[in-house]
């Protein structure tokens, strides 16, 4: 397996949320014109759209749909809410199939009124409930471990070890892991768990950005690669050594970048991506 070439933009994917002020048509047009080759689509940009046609529009721009974001949020003390989440995830699988997205990223969910263990059990049950549909639709599910600061309301899966344990438990080629540097860069077992993930061929996606110092907002102040303290290039080398040859997906939630001219921001993203291949980082 050969790794993506980083000397051009053929390995670069951008999440639609990164350039949130743009609708899907504008994002596809602009990314494509800039030479970007991959797009990960957030479900909000599909509202009111014919999803199949939107997928065709994206491919007409010579872009690969890398993933649909996002599914998950399985955990709740409330049985009805768990059922609603499962139905919503089944809808996400249908949307992914219509769009031509091979993968759904799962932000697994948690409920602070119960234990993290209970939330993890419900996550496991939720994935088990949708796995038949995902398998039938040939849509993969990637468990994304989230930084532990989100263990209160977003995910009870907070380390690569937990994500690997969960994914391996399904023993399915349709359940794997998404590595997002923002969430896992601090983990002393990161390299080891990336290697483990590679051995099981469970490494489905690689998301990049940076951790700004200081971080003004723990959700909406992600930085461009090179702007903070995450050793993105080193983590990428581990991911690639584990056999991953998919896209580098730029996923930046940033209240300040969203206020900028998005064409300028796109240029900055491309520069930051290219700089990752330089020796100085």
**Contact set with Zn ion (CB under 5 A):** 180, 207, 251
Residue 25 CB coordination number (10 Å): 14
CB of 181 to Zn ion, least distance (A): 9
State the burial class of residue 30 (Cβ atoms within 10 Å of its Cβ: 0-12, 13-18, 19+).
Answer: middle
Residue 209 structure tokens? 């950005």
Residue 18 vs 122, nearer CB to Zn ion: 18
Residue 82 vs 183, nearer CB to Zn ion: 183
CB of 207 to Zn ion, least distance (A): 4
With vertex at residue 245, the alpha carbon angle to CA 239 and CA 250, rounded to the nearest 5 degrees, is: 75
CB of 132 to Zn ion, least distance (A): 25
Residue 187 vs 251, nearer CB to Zn ion: 251
CB of 249 to Zn ion, least distance (A): 7
CB of 179 to Zn ion, least distance (A): 9
Q: List C-alpha distances in Å: 251 to 20, 38, 172.
A: 11, 12, 27
Residue 180 vs 187, nearer CB to Zn ion: 180
Pick the closest to residue 37 from 276, 277, 247, 273 (CA basis).
247
Is 241 strand, coil or helix? helix
On the question of a cis peptide bond just before residue 70, with omega within 30 degrees of 0, the verdict is yes
CB of 80 to Zn ion, least distance (A): 28
With vertex at residue 235, the alpha carbon angle to CA 109 and CA 41, rounded to the nearest 5 degrees, is: 50
Residue 4 vs 207, nearer CB to Zn ion: 207
Residue 95 vs 251, nearer CB to Zn ion: 251
């Amino acid at each position: 397996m050969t790794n993506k070439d980083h000397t051009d933009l053929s390995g670069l994917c951008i999440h639609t949320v990164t350039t949130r002020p743009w609708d899907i048509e504008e994002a596809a047009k602009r990314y494509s014109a800039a030479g970007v080759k991959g797009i990960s689509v957030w479900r909000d940009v599909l509202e009111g759209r014919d999803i199949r046609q939107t997928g065709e529009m994206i491919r007409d721009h010579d872009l690969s749909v890398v993933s649909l974001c996002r599914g998950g949020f399985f955990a709740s003390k409330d049985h009805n809410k768990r059922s609603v989440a499962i139905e919503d995830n089944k809808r996400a699988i249908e949307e992914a199939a219509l769009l031509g997205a091979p993968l759904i990223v799962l932000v697994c969910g948690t409920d602070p009124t119960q234990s993290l263990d209970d939330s993890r059990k419900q996550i496991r049950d939720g994935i088990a409930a949708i796995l038949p549909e995902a398998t039938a639709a040939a849509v993969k599910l990637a468990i994304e471990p989230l930084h532990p600061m989100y263990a209160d309301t977003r995910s009870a899966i907070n380390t690569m070890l937990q994500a690997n344990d969960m994914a391996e438990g399904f023993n399915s080629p349709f359940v794997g892991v998404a590595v997002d540097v923002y969430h896992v860069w601090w983990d002393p077992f990161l390299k080891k768990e990336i290697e483990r993930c590679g051995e099981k061929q469970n490494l489905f996606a690689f998301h990049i950005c940076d951790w700004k110092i200081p971080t003004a907002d723990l959700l909406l102040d992600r930085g461009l690669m090179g702007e903070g303290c995450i050793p993105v290039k080193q983590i990428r080398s581990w991911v690639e050594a584990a056999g991953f040859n998919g896209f580098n997906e730029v996923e930046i939630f940033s209240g300040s970048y969203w206020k900028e001219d998005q064409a300028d921001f796109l240029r900055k993203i491309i520069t930051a991506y290219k700089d990752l291949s330089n020796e100085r980082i």
